[in-house]
Amino acid sequence: GAVVSQHPSRVICKSGTSVKIECRSLDFQATTMFWYRQFPKQSLMLMATSNEGSKATYEQGVEKDKFLINHASLTLSTLTVTSAHPEDSSFYICSAGQGTDTQYFGPGTRLTVL
């Protein structure tokens, strides 16, 4: 199956700093990638749809100025958590679609904000 990678896998930062997470499709081109957030023991919540060459589409309630998404190429999307606070600590997961039926998920990035 298709492979999606994320970097870093874990990050710890101080409150008020910004953190960038990369999502790459390794063996296919993805015009669309998705970003999810998952709190412990909870479901995956879709945050935004990342479209190559255009602005991301954010789900209701997700602050676009806080979670900056850039999809500069067909294999890379980045999520930047700006001015991070402890409540932003979570597991961030990206996915990319191949065809129309299946999304493949990256391994996730665990963010801890102190």
User: Is residue 54 involved in binding other proteins (CB under 8 A)?
Assistant: no
User: Is residue 46 involved in binding other proteins (CB under 8 A)?
Assistant: yes
User: Is residue 74 involved in binding other proteins (CB under 8 A)?
Assistant: no
105 sits in which H/E element: strand 102-105
Exposed e or buried b per residue across 55-80, where buried means at least 16 C-beta atoms within 10 angstroms of its C-beta: ebebeeebeeeebbbebeeebbbbbe
Stretch that binds other proteins, among 14-22, 63-71, 73-81, 93-101 (CB under 8 A): 93-101
Residues that bind other proteins in the complex, under the rule CB under 8 A: 1, 32, 34, 42-46, 49, 57, 93, 95, 97, 100-108, 110
